Amino acid sequence: MDGQGYGGDGWGYDDRVVDFPERDGWYDSYASYDHYDEHRDLGSLTMLVLINDELVDTVRKPVKGSGYERVARELGRGSPAAPPRERIVEVPAQPRHELQRTWLRMLVGGAEALERLDSTPLPEDEPATLDDVRAELRERLGAILERTDTWALDLFGAEVRTACRRLGVRAVVAEPALLTGSDRDDSAAAALLYAVAKGNDLVGAGRALSATVFYRWVGLKSSPQERARRFAHAVAGVEPVTAWHSRLGTKSSTPDVWNLGSADFLTGTFRRHLLRARDLADAEAGASATASATG
């Protein structure tokens, strides 16, 4: 060889020295493989150029179009990668006493509020202070609270009346849109009272008052629940405590109440229940710590 053809075809070899003719037959049947993706990269191959058994060049080119596609596929190129094996990770369940304390903190307004919680009754005739309410909404809110006052005293007592006054003012300050709609004042008053009643575990199946009796008493033909939730959400956020109740288990003694986000809206009787729940959670936490230390 005179060397004139060395590297002369762009791939670094001369066809007079080494030839890789296109093959037919079994090398070309790769299209029949169901799992093969014709667009998937098959990688590259390296050719060695020998003259008189001496390596004079190496040529690297794509496998596709070389005639060695099937060989590449048999070596695993071009096939979809095997999916990763599923791993099951077991996450330890949060202890019940921790869930209970989290639930209690949500109800009363935080960890500090839970620690200083007491069962002192709410003031019986605390007046509603409308100074922070938008001026154009004060008259309407005052009329709504007057109606709520009457129903609260008739159905639940003076503490609930105070809770309604507090919740009504704080909710409208936080979300004035509660009173900018076209609904009637009696509907808004019923919704406000219903929110306070649900937040104190006073209405519903097995409670002091059934929902049906409540609707009839305030003159409603349908539930005020959707509107009532807006009052609760305005002061406490959008997640109702019912979601936490389900996490604590269906046999839980925890009442299925709404989250009002502060002990300011809770009667002394209901706060006594929460204090018992807090003490039980603390006792369970202590027992768990002792068991871990001795185990």
Q: Tell me the per-residue pLDDT of 177-212, one tens digit each, with 9 for 90 and over.
A: 999 876 789 999 999 999 999 999 999 888 889 999
154 and 253 in a single domain? The answer is: yes
Neighbours of 156 (CB within 10 A): 21
For 9-34, what is each residue's pLDDT tens digit?
444 444 454 454 554 444 444 444 44
| Statement to judge: residues 60 and 187 lie in one domain | no
91 within some domain: no
- Tell me if 280 is assigned to some domain: yes
Inside any domain, residue 149 = yes
Which residues form the domain of 46? Answer: 25-74
Contact 191, 179 (CB under 8 A): no
Same domain, 184 and 275: yes
* Other CB atoms within 10 A of residue 203 CB: 22
pLDDT in tens, 47-89: 888 888 888 888 888 888 888 888 888 887 777 767 788 888 8
* pLDDT tens per residue, range 246-262: 555 544 455 679 999 99
Is 16 inside a domain boundary? Answer: no
One domain for residues 65 and 135 = no
Look at residue 97 in the predicted model and tell me its pLDDT: 86
For residues 108 and 88, give the distance between their C-alpha atoms in angstroms, rounded to a whole number: 38
Are 164 and 44 part of one and the same domain? no
Verify that 102 and 68 share a domain, yes or no: no
225 token code pair: 């629940």
Q: Which backbone phi and psi does 241 adopt, to 5 degrees?
A: -65, -15
Domain count, the chain: 2
- The contacts of residue 127 (CB under 8 Å, 6+ apart) are 165
Chain centre distance of CA 121: 36
Considering the domain architecture, whether residues 55 and 103 belong to the same structural domain is answered as no
Beta strands in 125-264 (DSSP E): none
Do 149 and 246 reside in the same domain of the chain? yes
In whole angstroms, give the CA distance from residue 265 to residue 162.
8
Q: Compare 223 and 19 and report the one with higher pLDDT.
A: 223
Residue 79 lies in a domain: no
Residue 43 sits in the same domain as residue 129 = no
Q: In 10 A of CB 65, how many CB atoms?
A: 10
Same domain, residue pair 166 and 262: yes
Q: Do 130 and 256 fall into the same domain?
A: yes
- Of the two residues 24 and 41, the one the predictor is more confident about is 41
Kindly state whether residues 164 and 32 are assigned to the same domain: no
Report the alpha-carbon distance of residue 198 to residue 259 in Å, rounded.
9
Per the domain annotation, does 279 fall within a domain?
yes
Length of the chain counted residue by residue: 295
Judge whether 58 lies within some domain. yes
By C-alpha distance, which of 77, 48, 74, 72 is closest to 60? 48
Q: Which tens digits make up the pLDDT trace of 114-133?
A: 999 999 999 999 999 999 99
In a domain, 84, yes or no: no
Q: Quick check: 197 and 204 in contact, CB under 8 A?
A: no
